[in-house]
């Protein structure tokens, strides 16, 4: 059983990106931002917060072309992330999403297809199937950084008692006790929490790992490209936002971010595809 958590260093830079759902154009733009940032600051990290796979169906592409008119290149993106992890060891961090989870023992999702796992795996080569497992089986459930952020795919509730409890979570739900089964579900699948719930979660991570004040997560969508729930939860949106509104987050790991108010448009909150 591998580790499901990482604590980032207190120097360097951090790029945070959320759900891609098979869009190569968005992945390629993020990769260029990461490479440019790494050239300027070699201690740049990239946290990819899951749901890389499962692109739109032909029906969805026709129904909302401004959001969904792209070819599903899930397998190609997975291979490219693995290549980056080999080229930049310890700096490209992958957090498991609920769509990813279905390929490594989790529930099978239905978004654009009734069985997204079958739809993708049915067109993968053996090498591509191996890549899916190579990326998702060792994936993280959460990242904490001394700059004040906790990163996860979903926005989890407050059941977690201490940060390294996540390291005992197994990807097959039935292989976990009830506590860890709940942790797996909430870190992958929960949406926004009440502010007091997130405050309790952050306090427990702060007491057991590093001081954190803000959850940055994916899993959700907003056509404006960014939204927050209270002062403690933020979601930069790529998938499901029009091209001009897609956002990612860029942080200085030696700074401190105490709330959503510290994330400024054009500085920490950046457009994926600048005009």
Short-list 23, 12, 11, CA closest to 272: 23
What average pLDDT does the segment 205-213 reach?
98
Q: Which of 57-71, 125-139, 179-193 has the lowest mean pLDDT?
A: 57-71
Q: What is the pTM of this model?
A: 0.97
Q: Residue 73 above 60 pLDDT?
A: yes
Task: Quote the CA–CA distance of 168 and 171 in Å, as a whole number.
Answer: 10
- Listed in sequence order, the residues at least 6 apart from 258 whose beta carbon sits closer than 8 Å to its beta carbon are 148, 213, 214
What's the pLDDT at 58?
A: 86
CB 74 within 8 A of CB 99: no
pLDDT digits (tens, 9 = 90+) for 20-31: 999 999 999 999
**Domain ranges for the chain:** 5-143+218-271
Cα-flanking dihedrals φ and ψ of residue 179, to 5°? -65, -50
Q: Residue 1 above 60 pLDDT?
A: no
Task: Quote the CA–CA distance of 8 and 13 in Å, as a whole number.
Answer: 10
What average pLDDT does the segment 125-137 reach?
98
* Mean per-residue pLDDT of the chain: 96
CB 99 within 8 A of CB 113: no
pLDDT digits (tens, 9 = 90+) for 160-202: 999 999 999 999 999 999 999 999 999 999 998 999 999 999 9
pLDDT digits (tens, 9 = 90+) for 84-107: 999 999 999 999 999 999 999 999
pLDDT digits (tens, 9 = 90+) for 230-266: 999 999 999 999 999 999 999 999 999 999 999 999 9
What's the pLDDT at 111?
A: 82
CB 119 within 8 A of CB 75: no
What's the pLDDT at 262?
A: 98
Residue with tokens 């997130």: 198
* Percent of residues, the chain, with pLDDT higher than 70: 100
């Amino acid at each position: 059983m591998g580790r499901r958590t990482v604590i980032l260093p207190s120097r360097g830079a951090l790029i945070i990106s959320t759900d891609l759902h098979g869009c190569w154009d968005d992945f390629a733009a993020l990769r260029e931002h990461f490479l440019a940032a790494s050239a300027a600051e070699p201690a740049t990290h990239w946290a990819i917060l899951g749901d890389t796979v499962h692109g739109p169906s032909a029906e969805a592409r026709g129904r909302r072309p401004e959001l969904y008119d792209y070819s599903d290149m899930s397998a190609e993106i997975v291979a490219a992330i693995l290549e980056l992890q080999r080229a930049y060891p310890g700096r490209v961090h992958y957090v498991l999403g609920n769509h990813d989870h279905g390929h490594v023992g989790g529930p099978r999702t239905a978004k654009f297809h009734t069985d997204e796992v079958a739809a993708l795996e049915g067109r993968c080569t053996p090498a591509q199937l191996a890549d899916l497992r190579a990326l998702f089986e060792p994936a993280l459930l959460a990242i904490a950084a001394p700059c004040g952020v906790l990163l996860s795919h979903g926005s989890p509730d407050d059941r977690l008692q201490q940060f390294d409890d996540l390291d005992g979570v197994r990807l097959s739900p039935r292989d976990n006790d009830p506590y860890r089964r709940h942790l797996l579900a909430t870190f992958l699948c929960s949406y926004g929490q009440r502010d007091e719930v997130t405050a309790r979660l952050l306090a427990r991570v702060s007491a057991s790992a590093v001081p954190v004040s803000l959850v940055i997560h994916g899993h959700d969508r907003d056509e404006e490209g960014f939204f927050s729930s209270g002062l403690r939860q933020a979601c930069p949106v790529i998938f499901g936002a029009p091209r001009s509104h897609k956002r990612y987050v860029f942080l200085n790991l030696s700074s401190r971010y105490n709330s959503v108010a510290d994330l400024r448009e054009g500085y920490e909150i950046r457009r994926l595809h600048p005009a």
